[in-house]
Amino acid sequence: MSEKYKVGVLVGSLRAGSLNRKLAQAIASLAPDTLDFEFIEIGDLALFNEDLEPSPPEGWTAFRDRIRAIDAVMFVSPEYNRTIPAALKNAIDVGSRPYGQSVWSGKPAAVITGSPSGIGGFGANHNIRQALVFLDMPVMQQPEAYVSGIAAMFGDDGSVNDANTRTFLASIGSRFAEWIATVRG
């Protein structure tokens, strides 16, 4: 039997009807059962301010503990103004501090961006990757996942409408399982 890995999922969109949350849920539902997905909410994290670090807010401590307890991280995000949504950037920053105590270091990562537009969040995807390289997170390179047209991708029940899209999303989950096993060795 293959080892089971706990994957934390951070969704950059906070809205109730988030298409990127649906995208993350679809990938999780199509992934191999060797991956156990845990959605980690980021909307209530206090904004990072290093002055608070001597006595960090309880939310920061709980978030850092949850990230420490997982084996890998899947980032799923829209693109806002060609970059990362503020809540996701804040979560990345909170987890990276205090300096020298980052909870991200060494954790395998996947970056998936989705957008109703044709470029699928390309800018945000690369902004997230840039931060993860600095944070020493080995990021899965293939398949690249800039998912366009997500406004029409889901049925009323949240299922993916198109068989080819389901196959692609399943390939992301399968490849991520392989990537985690390779990195965690």
The per-residue pLDDT for 35 is 98
Residue 102 CA to residue 129 CA, distance in Å, equals: 16
Domains annotated on the chain, with CATH: 5-184 (3.40.50.360)
With cut-offs at 50, 70 and 90, classify the pLDDT of residue 158: confident
Q: Do 150 and 19 meet the contact criterion of CB atoms below 8 Å apart?
A: yes
Where would I find the H helices in 111-160? 122-134
Model confidence over 56-94: pLDDT tens digits? 999 999 999 999 999 999 999 999 999 999 999 999 999
Q: Residue 35: CA atoms inside 13 Å, Cβ hemisphere, count?
A: 30
User: How many helices and strands in the chain, by DSSP H and E?
Assistant: 5, 5
Q: Indicate the SS3 state at residue 9.
A: strand
Q: Indicate the SS3 state at residue 86.
A: helix
Model confidence over 170-184: pLDDT tens digits? 999 999 999 999 999
Q: What's CA 161's distance to the chain center, in Å?
A: 22
Q: Indicate the SS3 state at residue 142.
A: coil
Q: Which two tokens stand for residue 138?
A: 């080995």
Q: Using CB atoms within 10 Å of the CB of residue 125, give its burial: 0 to 12 exposed, 13 to 18 middle, 19+ buried.
A: buried
Q: What does DSSP assign to residue 84?
A: -
